[in-house]
Each structure stands twice: as C-alpha cells, then as structure tokens.
Chains A and B, each alone.
Chain A
C-alpha cells in the first residue's frame, strides 16, 4: 500500500525559513516531487529528488533520505507570495503523481 504524511498547516513570518516535512511509504520508490499550488491556481512543479541529499533551486531546497522514507522542502527568505499549499508526491514504478492532502503555508507580515 501507500501512505503519505505532511503537516496540514504551517505558519511562518515573512523573511523567515520554513521546513515542510514529508514521510511516505510506497512500493517501488523512484523519487519525490514537490509542487506548489496557490488558491484557485494550478499545481506548479518545484523540484524532484531521485537520490539522497539536498537539491537547491533559488530560495527553495528539497531534501531526500531514501533509507528513512523522508523528505522535506525548505523555503528561505519567505515572501508573502509563498503562501500556498505544498504537496510532496512520491513516485513509484508507475506514472502518476500521488498527492496527499498537502501542507497549507501561511506567511504573515
């Protein structure tokens, strides 16, 4: 079977750093994707980790530990526009993105 856990809500202050954790259980794990979705908008691809370690893309970084079935998304220098839902999506041997309920991030002034 498959399971996915993320915090439902996270609140952080503008300019701060926030980490959104993701633990997963899936058979035939290939890698972990992260997507951002603003209210009323479409999901947008942020990053993909196939190997253990940290991937950095601008203010966003994503980390994966395959042995712990764990990953996180790190957002630095938070801006108001970062308020959105964030989804981790483990990839198994298929082609689907397996989203959970996601994490709602609220950035406050």
Chain B
C-alpha cells in the first residue's frame, strides 16, 4: 500500500520564477492538504482540497494556488517566488471524515536564490 508520494524531492529556483510541486495521496484517501515548514518551525497550513475544490485556506497570499485532480492527486503552484518561500513543502492526505489524522509525504525541499 503506497503512502503519500511527492515530487520532486529537491528544487532550486530563482527569485521571481514559478514552481509546481506534485503530490499523490495514500491509497483510499480523498483529501489533500499542503503545508509549508520553515527550518525550526512547525508545518503551517496552506490549503486543503476535497472533491477538486479548495475547502479551506490558511494565511498565505494568492501567489500560492493549487489543484486537485479526479484521481485525488494534487499540485501546489507558487508564483513570483520570494527568498522567504524557501522551505520544506509537505503534502498530507486524509479521509474526509478524519481530518485530524493526516498522512504526510516526505516533502519537497524548495530553495529560492
């Protein structure tokens, strides 16, 4: 049973560029959430997708956008990258009825130079 997978593992981008991160949820899960984790901090909620729609959004600017596909996989897009966007981006999947139990992927380490 495959867990949550994310790609790529690492990414280096230049300030002002755009980036797309990808996530495949754990088998059987229908909900995908994205988190940003800066060094030494806890994960911060970006948004959650269910039934291909953004169900809840955290305190992140509109430069952060996402998408969920019919097979439940998801993408996180970040436009106009800033140096402060450098972080570990974590995808988590869950069942719609159990939002408190989320399964995290290994993350994508994004470095903005």
Contact = CB atoms under 8 A, between A and B. Distances in A.
A65 B99 CA distance: 21
- The DSSP consensus for interface residues of chain A is loop
Contact of A91 (B56, B92, B100): B100
A41 B107 CA distance: 8
Given A96-B48, A96-B58, A101 B101 contact: no
By size class, the interface of chain B is 20 to 34
B56 A96 contact: yes
Interface stretch (B13-21, B37-45, B64-72): B37-45
Contacts of B40: 101
Interface of B: 4, 31, 33, 35, 40-45, 48, 50, 55-56, 58, 90, 92, 99-107
